[in-house]
Amino acid sequence: MPGLLGIECGATHTVALHESGGQVARAGFGPANLRLLDNVQLTRRLRQIAKQFPKPSAVAIGMAGVRTAADKQRLHRAAARAWPSAAIHATNDLETALAADTQHKPANRVLVLSGTGSCCFGQTADGATAKLGGWGHILGDKGSGFEIGLRALKACVFYLDRDDNWSALGQRLLRRLQLNSPDQLIDWVAQADKAEVADLAKDVFAAWSRRDKIAGDILEGAVETLAKDACACARKLTGKTGSVRFLLAGSVLMKQPKFAAKLAKAIRIRRPGSQIATLKNESCWGALNLARRLGKLSPAKPGATINADRPAIPVPGLVQIDQSPTEQRHPRSMQLDRMPLGQAVDLFLDEDSQLPAAIAREKTKTVRVIGWVRDAFQNGGRLFYSGAGTSGRLGVLDASECPPTFRADPEQVQGIIAGGQPALYRSIESAEDDPDAGAEAVRFRGVGKKDVFIGIAASGRTPFVWGGIWEANRRGAKTALLCFNPKLRIPRDNRPDIVIKPDLGPELLTGSTRLKSGTATKMILNMITTLAMAKSGKVIGNLMIDLDPSNTKLRDRAVRIVRQLTQASKAEASYALEQSGWNVKKAAGRLAKR
């Protein structure tokens, strides 16, 4: 039997299915959008796919970015160079999505697509087509993830301007983007690509699930827009009364069933009696079905309020830096540039071996802070870290590791870094000198009485951090400072509740606080979040019962944890996890009831 090849090329990835002798082989490749590839790149991508499979007799390709007849001809020519002896059908990714639907009655079908972008595409039994949208995120994409994300940003700044109020949705978006104030959104959105803006839709849906009114209004508008466009597309095909099967597709509609259900209801109100279904099969199966038709084979089923008037924020004077051990020269490393490498390595290891004893001398205060964080977690509060440079990056790192380790809500532990997101990747050292920016970051994240705020500053002097402490104190949060300057003098009018200040001595490379100070910071943050989570029911013994098994390694770990808790076999533990949505706690509970 001759081989058949169906290819779905999208903005994020490409999937190809090769069928021969009743067997289907699958392979994945990188993204492919016709409008983002020149002819050489397009041919190269298709030949890469061709090398993966035996020669087919028929090839059907649906590619993002194909709009016009000229686009189809260009794609067809490139495909003919890759498969010179095959029959070829070149089209867009909308037709392949429709072809993935295996039900053919009614014959008139309209695809309602909402993902990163959006559009509606209809087709009749005789091949006539109609389309609304697909103009891209600047001219169109109504009801898409991009529009939802962009409308959220616009709504948040609108209410800030009109009511002097930064909303809970705005706080959520700043946390996601690692930005410290709404002003930073101007630069972010100017540089963000379509996918980055669309990714904000996830936060709009999360806010909607918590009854956020702004999010609800945005999504209600998206539903109405999509429903109107879907019915307008159907009218183009069959008039006002013809029978139509609407197929809902795209990541927004596939991953948000409540939203999809609201859209289905809105379509039925406008066009009673319509069939509406979610497209169950991947579009690559539609490409394969088109290849089957091309090869004359029968299609088969695929298996906060803003106040600008505020006093100057008290910050320790510059003399505090001169007095900090982190800025002193280490007598043992005066010849570091000429020291034999082996001796230098021993020196580094010896210095780091002294860190636990120095940290232990601050144990009483560390334990108290951990208790605060535990209580915050148990009472709906959050933990915030704030720092600049290495200190800020370590805070963001610890926060980012809590969701996969403890299945924690990303809002529960948050990192704030001076300079915002760009400072995660490159040095923006001047950002640390603005205490007002530190206060704004706290204000716009909505830090409150239930929360714990920990400023991290190796020398103890960072103005950005002290601005955060000032505002967190003003808002009633528990506050702490982690530094490595035992001589630090705290401003009388801006005192954190606790100062943890281990004496680590000078750095081997004078002033380079990414060394011992960075290592000690990581050790202390590890203790704070791990023990607070453990005392909040996220751990049994020393087992992570709330980890998020998001990859193969973590799923294997989840199986081992369930087996250790229940004495179940590997097969039993795997099955219980699958049935419990890979929730370790639920799976263990299920097995305990046997």
Residues annotated as catalytic are: 401, 432
Amino acid code (one letter) for 283:
S
Q: Per-residue DSSP letters for 193-259?
A: -HHHHHTTHHHHHHHHHTT-HHHHHHHHHHHHHHHHHHHHHHHHHHTTTS--EEEEESHHHHH-HHH
Give the list of residues 6+ apart from residue 192 with CB closer than 8 angstroms, or none. none
Q: Confirm if 176 and 450 have CB atoms less than 8 A apart.
A: no
Phi, psi (degrees; rounded to nearest 5) at 502: -60, 145
Vertex 162 angle, CA 159 and 167, to 5°? 25
Neighbours of 336 (CB within 10 A): 15
Q: Which two tokens stand for residue 481?
A: 């400072």
Nearest of 43, 7, 42 to residue 25 by alpha carbon? 7
Q: Confirm if 483 and 513 have CB atoms less than 8 A apart.
A: no
The helix (H) or strand (E) run that includes residue 356 is helix 355-360
349-to-151, 332, 344, 379, 515 alpha-carbon distances in Å: 52, 13, 9, 41, 11
Amino acid code (one letter) for 99:
A
Q: Confirm if 149 and 199 have CB atoms less than 8 A apart.
A: yes
Q: Confirm if 4 and 20 have CB atoms less than 8 A apart.
A: yes
Q: What are the DSSP E strand ranges found in 460-553?
A: 478-482, 498-500, 539-540, 543-544
Return the sign of the alpha-carbon dihedral for residues 327, 330, 336, 341. negative
132-to-118, 121, 237, 535 alpha-carbon distances in Å: 9, 7, 12, 54
Q: Which two tokens stand for residue 393?
A: 């990056």
Phi, psi (degrees; rounded to nearest 5) at 19: -115, 130
The helix (H) or strand (E) run that includes residue 524 is helix 516-533
As a whole number of angstroms, the distance between CA 263 and CA 278 comes to 11
As a whole number of angstroms, the distance between CA 411 and CA 417 comes to 15
Count CA within 13 A, CB hemisphere, residue 406.
Answer: 26
The helix (H) or strand (E) run that includes residue 18 is strand 14-20
Nearest of 249, 242, 206 to residue 226 by alpha carbon? 249
As a whole number of angstroms, the distance between CA 172 and CA 90 comes to 43
Q: Which two tokens stand for residue 64?
A: 């993002």
